Chain A
């Protein structure tokens, strides 16, 4: 494979232009490869640093529930993995229906004049920094959750274990709600594009059978775009898993695995954010980095899977998934 081509100019030898050309191509190629090299470097450095912890605990790291910085040094990731999974699941439970509703509104129902401004407003949600969401979560959302919403839920569904215990406001539920808000722009914009890609002929087919607008959306749009929709959801999940500040500030920061959503918890990212700089021993530091590695792998796998799904839909164009 040629990375560059020697062009033969008039006369002999290589002209300055050709040199400049190959030089430029070389330069940009090397820079690009260097960027990818940084990614490799991330993996290498993290594995290198995590080795001590991996060696000390092996697979039991993932199942361990104790984080003991004093001797005997024992570190386990389970409470954090649990917290990450619970808050991300909550984010999807709340975020997906709302995002799909928004996407349907923007692609099927909204009058043309309102589409662009509304789309812009929804994108604005993505521009708010995570730490500002956290601030809002602590002082606006959490009090409302604690005094109104959570007692209300407990009043009706309190027999379920996930809604028991004293509502504190800064708990897994609030963290899940904030995460849901944060992933709405991602899921709704990718879904909207998937819906817009559905050919009008599909909608016409449904309409001509006497379908209502909702039935048309259900039968022709949602079905046709379901692969793209699925990809959008997974992308949102990927974002939720890696989110740090807003979650740290609203989840209550307690390393416990508890069933109730009204209890505090901890995610991988929030635990690292809170305590990484307090690590006392090299082994603890290594454990933190192993945790980071786990987070990165989770996020990477989820995102690669999502991109494959979305790419498949965009490439095919057909709805047959």
Chain B
């Protein structure tokens, strides 16, 4: 290609090339996303059917995996949302001092602990507690164990989103409530939290969506089960775990079916994400 050597023109060409390169970067990033969505939709739909959705993994279906994921995330939410939101309340309402700064820092650190490490932590904890008589060593591979692991991941996440949500509630709102003589804790409970409620719910739903996709910790806690839910003290199946087993297994049909499971999982997470947006929309409409 002939390069007009005039300096200004060269600078213009470089400018154009760099803009093009930046655009190409965006395209490169979107390609895998598009590919995953397409593969999941095409290959996934092919392998899904009502029969698949209602049979257990032992029978070639994913019914128990769906059930397992639902049980795991609901129980984890039951534990993590109150704890996480309360921690978020502490951080935003009472955490303006040095202690609060330290707590905030460590909560932030907790969100970065690799999920695999959380898994082996829960395994070890349950094992040791079992050995000294609290529970039983058998519980390492159980629903409870899985819930503990997912909660450990979810709580710091929810704490952080809750703190941000509460921070956004304007000072004006707080001060006007306090000026009316409403005591602090009631201000927080009856005024601040409600006005942040949609953001809090969003944070919670996003946290749930996030742990719904977690696999690594479940490998060493919830473990997996070819049958329907049998009890809190029993191992339990989950969608991401099924994907992993089927994808890495030797049967081609199962490999392909893993796409179907992925589709179900992604739809579930999408549903949660959309639900969180709907909540925001509803709240702002009702004002």
Contacts and interface: CB of A to CB of B under 8 A. Distances in A.
Interface in B249-277: 255, 258-259, 262, 265-266, 269, 273
B107 A36 contact: yes
A21 B155 CA distance: 24
Per CB-CB distance, the 8 closest pairs between chain A and chain B, nearest first, are A101-B25, A129-B213, A242-B114, A24-B185, A212-B15, A28-B90, A32-B90, A244-B216
A217 B117 CA distance: 40
Given A24-B189, A42-B121, A212-B12, A130 B25 contact: no
Interface in A67-107: 97-102, 104-106
A101 B17 CA distance: 12
Contacts of B19: 109, 213-214
Contacts of A29: 90, 94
B90 to A, nearest CB: 4
Interface stretch (B27-35, B51-59, B197-205, B278-286): B27-35
Interface stretch (A116-124, A147-155, A161-169, A199-207): A116-124
Given A28-B89, A129-B215, A134-B247, A307 B108 contact: yes
A249 B106 CA distance: 31
Contact of B87 (A28, A134, A277, A293): A28
Contacts of A238: 112
Interface string B77-94: 000000100110111011
Interface string B138-168: 0000000000000010011001000000000
A193 interface: no
21 contacts: A21-B184, A24-B184, A32-B90, A39-B106, A39-B109, A45-B124, A46-B120, A109-B23, A125-B29, A127-B269, A128-B266, A131-B244, A135-B247, A139-B255, A140-B39, A241-B114, A242-B113, A244-B216, A245-B240, A292-B117, A296-B114
A307 B247 CA distance: 36
A203 B62 CA distance: 55
Given A25-B94, A32-B95, A105-B25, A42 B36 contact: no
Given A31-B86, A125-B32, A292-B117, 4 more contacts: A42-B121, A131-B215, A242-B115, A303-B112
Contacts of B22: 101-102, 104-105, 108-109
A269 B90 contact: no
Contacts of A28: 86-87, 89-90, 93-94
A135 B185 CA distance: 49
Contact of B116 (A17, A20, A98, A292): A292
Interface majority SS (helix, strand, loop, mixed), chain A? helix
Interface centre among B33, B90, B112, B155 (most CB of A within 10 A): B112
Nearest to B28: A98
B70 interface: no
A128 B112 contact: no
Contacts of A321: none
A38 interface: yes
B243 interface: yes
B117 to A, nearest CB: 5
Contacts of B125: 41, 45
Contacts of B23: 105, 109
Contacts of A46: 117, 120-121, 124
B112 to A, nearest CB: 4
Given A46-B117, A128-B266, A102 B29 contact: yes
Contacts of B113: 39, 42, 242, 296, 299-300
A245 B244 contact: yes
B173 interface: no
A129 B214 contact: yes
Contacts of B152: 38, 42
A212 B7 CA distance: 12
Given A131-B244, A276-B219, A24 B116 contact: no
B170 interface: no
Contact of A32 (B18, B87, B121, B215): B87
